[in-house]
Chain A
Amino acid sequence: MPGEYASQFTPIMYMLGMGFLAGVPALILSKILAPRKSYNPVKFLPMECGQMPVGEGRSHFMMQYYAYILMFVVFDVMSIFLYAWGTSLLSIPKSATLPMIGFLGIMFAAMGYALYLSGKKGIW
């Protein structure tokens, strides 16, 4: 039953709610107890080691990591697929491992090539 299967996960939701139950009252209590000093424009500036902040807080940021991100998208999914194989390993015939080894070989070759290229191009 799909509903029954989903109801296995409700205790996780209870724990999530428990986290909120612990966090929100702590913040409210802190809001009640904490002193509120008069408004001071310098106090609310973003932290920049005591200097006046220069420029925007949310600026553009060069993130030269796209090759690894693309590889992550591929290989993260691959590792989850391996779990589907790993749980059923003991109930499938032994010959079914050979295609799996082939799949791993292809993935390994692709990964090695990608890492080789990203090393050659000097991305990080």
Chain B
Amino acid sequence: MVTVPKKFGFGSFVSSILWLVFWIVVIVTLVGLPLIFIILFYVPLPYIGDEVLTPYLFFSMMVDPTRTIPIIKFLIHTDIFRVMVFPGFGYAAIIAAVTIFVERKFLAKMQLRVGPYYVGRWEGILQLMADGLKLISKEIIVPSGADKLLFWLAPVLFVATAAAVTALIPVAPGGWVVADIDVGLIAVFAILGFFPLIALLFSWASNSKYPFIGGLRALHQMVAFEIPFILSALSVVLVAGTLNLTEIVESQYLYWFIIIAPISAFVFYISSLAELERIPFDLPEAESEIVAGWITETSGMLYGLIQLGTYLKLYALAALFVILFLGGWTGPQIFPEEIIPGYTGEKIYNHIVINGIFWFTLKTFGMIILFLLPRGISPRIRIDILLHTGWYKLIVLCFINIFAVLTLIYGGIIPTGGILQ
């Protein structure tokens, strides 16, 4: 006869559940209810439309899904939604994640490999998640003699600075941008200038020779390509007459600026590649010369954070190219005016905004693919040729386009007084 030990008996099972219920009741009465009262007394309730959102109204809205639309509308027009979800961090991080996967598959197809294949049922779709788990569960090794504070801080700073760049990117019409400032373009250049400094700080902090060489190379590259990068956007500013990125997009409703500034667009593309440290210009991370450049000593999640920051930056620069030269969110209206015909209630669907998001994402993704492309087809450039390209050729090309645009403006071909007027 089999005897069940007492602790596996049914009675003890019931009693354990009762104990659990007892403790939940005790904790809710002692902690939960006072907390709810404190919140109800001291936090002002938000206004939905013209009535206060009381708990009764909240629960009655929860019963009928169409009644929650005012709450959702209220939430998506707050700053916190913008920063955390849509034009801000969430959207950029999703695009960055998709970019990492697409880059691996795309380069594999270009080089007749298969790329990630096993994780997940279809084409290794879960590879990214596996990589994330791997990175987060690896030991972080801080080399002896490293500056501990800077070594831990620099990757986080890298991600934070990349996120700050994406804050300035307008995504859809109607103010879908985190920070809509008058000098948006200059602010983008200002924040992008921090990246080589972070690379140099990190390389100094890691107390090793390869990172140090890589950091100095990052600085050289920045010095050679910063001026063409800034000047290539000038011909767009000459035509648009503003530095606000939203207004630059709005002034392209007739034609894209790549038509009148093709050379500038080319220079912007080349110097963006240099700014991103991508393949023809990846001297700071040249893996066949200096191990991994300035990220040699990173391990585990520190490396993961730097990768995340790099891809956020890639998204930001591709989006900036789209905004300056490819007309941002402008495109033919392909979404219908209403999804449910004959519905006359509170609406959350805005066909113009959805259309803008669709075209913006499509163009940005096309640009990201263009940024990924040289990695499959091009070898690394020598450092003196890189500096020569930056200083002697690209700056001159920028000025050629600037003078062409000036000629067009003063010849009366582009209307003076701005496209906007």
A residues apposed to B, CB below 8 Å = 8-12, 14-20, 22-24, 26-27, 29-31, 33-37, 41, 43-49, 53, 57-59, 61, 63, 65, 68-69, 71-72, 75-76, 79-80, 82-83, 86-87, 89-91, 94, 97, 104, 108, 111, 115, 124
Contacts and interface: CB of A to CB of B under 8 A. Distances in A.
Interface stretch (B43-51, B153-161, B254-262): B153-161
B180 interface: yes
B238 interface: yes
B159 A19 contact: yes
A106 to B, nearest CB: 14
B118 to A, nearest CB: 23
Contacts, number: 201
Contacts of A23: 155-156, 159-160, 305
B152 interface: yes
B83 interface: yes
16 contacts: A15-B83, A15-B163, A19-B164, A24-B156, A26-B136, A27-B152, A29-B136, A33-B136, A53-B209, A72-B226, A76-B227, A76-B230, A80-B230, A83-B234, A90-B409, A91-B241
Given A18-B88, A19-B162, A45-B143, A79 B238 contact: no
Contact of B220 (A9, A47, A65): A65
Nearest to B186: A83
8 nearest A-B pairs in the assembled complex, by CB-CB distance: A19-B160, A46-B208, A19-B163, A23-B156, A57-B207, A15-B167, A30-B301, A11-B179
Given A12-B181, A49-B291, 11 more contacts: A8-B179, A16-B164, A17-B160, A18-B88, A26-B136, A27-B156, A44-B142, A45-B144, A46-B207, A68-B387, A86-B238
Contacts of A53: 208-209
Most chain-B CB neighbours within 10 Å: which of A18, A33, A46, A79?
A18
B179 A58 contact: no
Given A11-B82, A26-B305, A97-B406, A46 B209 contact: yes
Contacts of B79: 11, 14
A79 B402 CA distance: 12
Nearest to A47: B296
B366 to A, nearest CB: 25
B164 A87 contact: no
Contact of A115 (B191, B305, B391): B391
B231 A79 contact: yes
Given A20-B156, A76-B226, A94 B410 contact: yes
B168 A12 contact: yes
Contacts of A30: 135-138, 140, 300-301
Given A33-B137, A43-B141, A58-B212, A72 B207 contact: no
A21 to B, nearest CB: 8
Given A30-B136, A47-B291, A18 B212 contact: no
B131 interface: no
B224 A86 contact: no
B141 A44 contact: yes
Contacts of B345: none
Nearest to A94: B410
A8 B365 CA distance: 29
Most chain-B CB neighbours within 10 Å: which of A20, A23, A87?
A23
Given A34-B139, A79-B234, A94-B410, A16 B209 contact: no
A75 B228 CA distance: 10
Interface in B206-263: 206-210, 212-213, 216, 220, 223-224, 226-227, 230-231, 234, 237-238, 241-243
B156 A37 contact: no
Nearest to B191: A12
B83 A11 contact: yes
B145 A57 contact: yes
A68 to B, nearest CB: 6
B234 A86 contact: yes
Contacts of B416: 90
A68 B391 contact: yes
Most chain-B CB neighbours within 10 Å: which of A8, A16, A17, A49?
A16
B343 interface: no
B187 A65 contact: no
Given A19-B89, A19-B156, A23-B156, A8 B182 contact: yes
